[in-house]
Amino acid sequence: MSHAPQTPLLDRVRTPADIKSFSDSELRKLADELRAETIAAVSRTGGHLGAGLGVIELTVALHAVFDAPRDKIIWDVSHQSYPHKILTGRRERMHTIRQKGGLSGFTKRSESPYDPFGAAHSSTSISAALGFKVAADLGGDSPVGHGDSIAVIGDGAMSAGMAYEAMNHAGDLGRRLIVILNDNEMSIAPPVGAMSRYLSRLYAEAPFQDLKEAAKGAVSLLPPPFREGAKRARDLIKGMAVGGTLFEALGFSYLGPIDGHDMEQLLPVLRTVKARADGPVLIHTITQKGKGYRPAESAPDRGHARAKFDVATGEQKKAPSNAPSYTKVFARSLIDEASRDSRICAVTAAMPDGTGLDLFGERFPSRCFDVGIAEQHGVTFCAGLAAGGMRPFAAIYSTFLQRGYDQVVHDVAIQRLPVRFAIDRAGLVGADGATHAGSYDVAYLSNLPGFTVMAAADEAELVHMVATAARHDEGPIAFRYPRGEGVGVEMPERGVPLEIGKGRMIREGGRVAILSFGARLKEVLEAAEALEARGVAPTVADARFAKPLDRELVLTLAREHEALVTIEEGAVGGFGSHVAQLLAEEGVFDSGLKYRSMVLPDIFIDQAKPEEMYAVAAMNAEHIEAKVLSLLGVAQVAGRRA
């Protein structure tokens, strides 16, 4: 059902400057309209919903009080930035969000001057805001001028080390910096950890209903300057601040908790901070993820991300699936392995649903750990578990494992510990775009001594790779698999461990061999059919391992064919580079082998459907076919692209 809310005030807003003349009661109404508009917009496109609904009032208040783009409003993760986009000149393009050629689902510097900093991975906002502040003080160039630096960070994002590293530095520098801790007691799943409990305690000790009156008069209550000491500030603002001791110890003035949906609290507090702050200030707002839209409020993830949906019912419009998702196949296989090996345990960094570990946790609660958004800790925690005799699986998206890379090298690889990396979302993921693409793991893992690196060609292969990893005690091992559904192959009853470093022949052909690593195999087979129809039936093999390479398979294919093409869903430096290195070392190029490596191009590919992104990368079946034909010097069919 299409839903066009009445938005008379919002209709007057082209840029945030348009709301400067709004009265406080108009700002309250604007927030209601913005909420309805956000729900309607996401219902048409799908995307991140709950987080944006939780910061509607905060978005309006920030734009009313501060002067973006001169003042830098930096949204952490930025999945909550849809309302901000609507208020900053992008309302008319919201129907394009997360689609090819459309708006990004995150803040993006190239998209708008109102997005001073791009994000999508969490917990970067305070560091970036501090950088802006210091750049301003040092007189850095800025086409829009310098103003305040404001980081808006969620309670989930607050579990990552980077946030504390930044606060530690900010407290030391002592410069004016505004951090808004948007505490909705949710990450994607319920938040975990002592920090989360600590924040809840701050709220429990001073519920904001007691603070409403104090907040109204905040201007007169807050002392100039805030930095005269946390105790003095706390005393002077009496009921408003409740000894946010951790933040104060880090050198911040702590204000809160305040009701982040109540403009009567938000506006005066922000105005006061704008007028008076002269050091780092942390404003603790309590909000509700999914606020104001019942289907989101009542969902277990509070409407974190949604497919297109019917506004009236909240019902999502999801395409029926033909095959199980890779994530579910992984989870079921791991449960199966863990039922026979009590040393197997599993670790997720705040993505229990996304990685399938919610299922594992239901079955083995004492062997499943959600460490929060803390990939670095998660990896080293696994190293410790492995050193202590357990067999941990670190289930982390390819893109987020980037954050734990030093831990992979220093804590796992160098110590040759049997940590098993289940790398979900490998390759191009679609609507989340370049920030979430799993492009680099093959390259950054295959260069590590002693690491075993596998990629699943389909969901049945994934089952075998879980079984392989479960029995691999000789050092670290990783297996990667894409986002979404499998290809619909017949599933094995149970995983059978693969021989380490051995690939498999898929079909025998003539002049050319295509050696696939990972889930492009489906496209390779489609290309092979087309090539066969053109009289150049290729040999097709599945490498399974990027490390150790199946040297025998590679060299046989190279020596028995005129041409060899490798393909992988990853950037240069991965599987194809290792194959090329082997061929060069063995002198195979000297005998005239034609070799091409199909990898992701050296660009960041913007959001689109995965197949559209792979078209940009020239890695779909038609591109494979064209690549082979051009390599063999066979004339191509008009309309087909290489």
Ligand X SMILES: CC(=O)[C@@H](O)[C@H](O)COP(=O)(O)O
Ligand Y SMILES: Cc1ncc(C[n+]2csc(CCOP(=O)(O)OP(=O)(O)O)c2C)c(N)n1
Amino acid at 445: L
* Window of 150-158, 215-223, 489-497, 627-635 that interacts with ligand Y by CB under 6 A: 150-158
Residue closer to ligand X, measured from CB, 244 or 354: 354
Site string for ligand X, 56-95 (x = CB under 6 A): ---------------------x-x----------------
Q: Check binding of 425 to ligand X (CB under 6 A).
A: yes
Sole residue written with tokens 């570990």: 357
Q: Rounded to an integer, what distance in angstroms lies between the CA atom of residue 384 and that of residue 391?
A: 10
Residues near ligand X (CB under 6 A), total = 10
Site string for ligand Y, 273-312 (x = CB under 6 A): ----------------x-----------------------
Helix (H) or strand (E) holding 255: strand 253-259
Site for ligand Y in 433-492 (CB under 6 A): none
Q: Rounded to an integer, what distance in angstroms lies between the CA atom of residue 114 and that of residue 348?
A: 34
Question: Any binding-site annotation on 79?
Answer: yes
Tokens read off for 324: 């199980």
Q: Rounded to an integer, what distance in angstroms lies between the CA atom of residue 576 and that of residue 111?
A: 34
Which residue in 517, 480, 477 sits closest to 500, CA to CA? 477
Q: Check binding of 157 to ligand Y (CB under 6 A).
A: yes
Q: Rounded to an integer, what distance in angstroms lies between the CA atom of residue 168 and that of residue 504?
A: 52
Amino acid at 511: R
Q: Under DSSP, is residue 596 helix (H, G, I), strand (E, B) or coil?
A: strand
Is residue 33 among the annotated active site residues?
Answer: no
Site string for ligand X, 578-617 (x = CB under 6 A): ----------------------------------------
Is residue 289 among the annotated active site residues?
Answer: yes
Site for ligand Y in 3-22 (CB under 6 A): none
Sole residue written with tokens 């894409």: 482
From the candidates 98, 234, 289, 302, give the one annotated as an active-site residue.
289
Question: Any binding-site annotation on 436?
Answer: no
Q: Which of 156, 257, 352, 495 binds ligand Y (CB under 6 A)?
A: 156
Answer whether 467's CB lies under 8 Å from 496's CB. Answer: yes
Question: Any binding-site annotation on 3?
Answer: no
CB under 8 A, 24+ apart: contacts of 636-642: 642/618
Among ligand Y, Mg ion, ligand X, none, the one that 80 touches (CB under a kind-dependent 5 to 8 A) is ligand Y
- DSSP class of residue 522? H
Q: Check binding of 53 to ligand Y (CB under 6 A).
A: no
- DSSP class of residue 623? H
Tokens read off for 44: 């048409």
Q: Check binding of 58 to ligand Y (CB under 6 A).
A: no
Q: Check binding of 422 to ligand X (CB under 6 A).
A: no
Is residue 328 among the annotated active site residues?
Answer: no
Four-CA torsion 438, 441, 442, 444, nearest 10 degrees = 150
Residue 571's beta-bridge partner residues? Answer: 600
Q: Check binding of 521 to ligand Y (CB under 6 A).
A: no
Residue numbers belonging to the annotated binding site: 79, 120-122, 155-157, 184, 293, 375
Q: Where does this chain bind ligand X (CB under 6 A)? A: 77, 79, 120, 188, 305, 354, 425, 429, 432, 483
Residue numbers belonging to the annotated binding site for thiamine diphosphate: 79, 120-122, 156-157, 184, 293, 375
Give catalytic residue positions. Answer: 289, 375, 403
